[in-house]
Amino acid sequence: MTASAPTLDVVAIGNAIVDVLARSDDAFLAQHALTKGGMQLIDAAMAESLYADMPQAKEISGGSAANTLAGLAALGKKCGFIGQVNDDQLGEVFAHDVHALGIRFDTPAMKGDVPTARCLILVTPDAQRTMNTFLGASQFLPEAALDLDMIRSAGILYLEGYLWDPEQPRAAMRAAIDAARGAGRKVAFTLSDNFVIDRHRADFIDLIDQGLIDILFSNEGEIQSLAQVDDFDKALARFAGKVPVLVSTRSEKGAVAVVDGTRYEAPAAPVSQIIDTTGAGDLFAAGFLAAHIEGRDVADCLNLGAAAAAEVISHWGARPEADLVVIRDQLFA
């Protein structure tokens, strides 16, 4: 059966999180025993304690997949988001920000005393971001909350690896994969972080081996962790024949894609000053997917991904501030 034409470009399932960003120094990280540049899950008690000690902060709706959608929406793509918030103030902040971007977000807010998730992000002078995430309500996304019609209506289902950790969202994402593939749609997956891979490597490899992932996003460390090798090229080779589009970012070394067995490389886009690396991978995925949706070649996909990532690391926060359409049009002029 031929799939009907999609009415949305991308539907993403991810953590519905409000980012709390503050400038910090290495001494603050050491004082709180935080691993610089990493992401750790914290409980409600630590979230309260760390928040109380943090310097003056800026609150912006975030979450990896939602950041990617923000980039896609800024590039003119039609998007939908599925994620769980609580019926509380931060839940309202998150929903308002998503709707303001023109993204469909209809997941019912949950009641009760599990608050909306937040990520406490400390940015050191070298622009490294150390993330401390309290998942709160986001880890209780039930399968029943999925809008299967919206998933089937989108050309690409985009899944956030971070959300594979809790049991309920993991089951929901498996159901979403079935719905998307049953409708003839593509499934994109981002590995998110080494700690997620360490916990769910077997699951992720099983998804790949079953041919359930069409586009896989990673960074250099993540693909090596998934393959359990220390060599980047060997890691790529491990999965290149099993994923139609395999994409890996390498920070200042640019990015690599292996598409149907052919390897493509692109340099990092120039950036005058790196302010905050939060969201770099998320916006790279947005640029890559936007160009992919537009039917551009792989080099263009990599270059727009790099340009979107360069934009977001040039300022605070994980959402684009410059006009990405202008950046795209200049890039492809």
Task: DSSP letter for 6, please.
Answer: P
Contact assessment for residue 271 and residue 260, using Cβ atoms and an 8 Å cutoff: no
Give the tens place of pLDDT for each residue, 198-209.
Answer: 999 999 999 999
**What average pLDDT does this structure show over 147-163?**
97
Q: Is the pLDDT of residue 330 over 80?
A: yes
Give the tens place of pLDDT for each residue, 298-312.
Answer: 999 999 999 999 999
pTM of the model: 0.92
What pLDDT, on a 0 to 100 scale, did the predictor assign at position 318? 83
* Average pLDDT taken over every residue of the chain: 94
Q: Is the pLDDT of residue 163 over 70?
A: yes
Contact assessment for residue 33 and residue 53, using Cβ atoms and an 8 Å cutoff: no
Q: Is the pLDDT of residue 257 over 90?
A: yes
End-to-end CA distance of the chain: 38
Q: Is the pLDDT of residue 1 over 50?
A: no
**What average pLDDT does this structure show over 252-260?**
96
What pLDDT, on a 0 to 100 scale, did the predictor assign at position 44? 87
Helix (H) or strand (E) holding 264: strand 262-266
Q: Which residue has the higher pLDDT, 333 or 3?
A: 333
**d(Cα 173, Cα 18) in Å, to the nearest integer?**
21
Q: Is the pLDDT of residue 52 over 70?
A: yes
Q: How is residue 34 written in tokens?
A: 């935080």
What pLDDT, on a 0 to 100 scale, did the predictor assign at position 165? 87
**What average pLDDT does this structure show over 283-297?**
98
CA-CA-CA-CA torsion for 163, 65, 240, 196, nearest 10 degrees? -30
Pair type for strands 129-134 and 117-123:
antiparallel
**d(Cα 309, Cα 333) in Å, to the nearest integer?**
19
pLDDT band at 137 (very low <50, low <70, confident <90, very high): very high
Q: Residue 104 phi/psi, 5° resolution? A: -70, 130
What pLDDT, on a 0 to 100 scale, did the predictor assign at position 2? 55
**What average pLDDT does this structure show over 166-175?**
96
What pLDDT, on a 0 to 100 scale, did the predictor assign at position 202? 97
- Given its phi and psi angles, is residue 69 left (phi above 0), alpha (psi -120 to 50 degrees) or beta? alpha
Among candidates 187, 164, 166, which has minimal Cα distance to 177? Answer: 187
Percent of the chain beyond pLDDT 90? 83
Give the tens place of pLDDT for each residue, 8-20.
Answer: 999 999 999 998 8
Q: What type of residue is 283?
A: L
Q: Is the pLDDT of residue 289 over 50?
A: yes
DSSP annotation string for 197-262: HHHHHHHHHHHHHTT--SEEEEEHHHHHHHHT-S-HHHHHHHHHTT-SEEEEE-GGG-EEEEETTE
H-type alpha helices, the chain? 26-31, 44-53, 64-74, 89-100, 148-152, 167-182, 194-209, 220-227, 232-240, 280-293, 298-312, 324-331
pLDDT band at 48 (very low <50, low <70, confident <90, very high): confident
**d(Cα 19, Cα 322) in Å, to the nearest integer?**
20
Most confident of 19-28, 111-120, 169-178: 169-178
List 132's β-bridge partners, or say none: 40, 120
Q: How is residue 301 written in tokens?
A: 């996909």
User: CB under 8 Å to 5, separation ≥6 — which residues?
Assistant: none
Q: How is residue 44 written in tokens?
A: 């409600």
Q: Residue 40 phi/psi, 5° resolution? A: -125, 150
pLDDT band at 32 (very low <50, low <70, confident <90, very high): very high
**What average pLDDT does this structure show over 309-318?**
90
Contact assessment for residue 215 and residue 190, using Cβ atoms and an 8 Å cutoff: no
Widest distance between CA atoms in the chain: 60
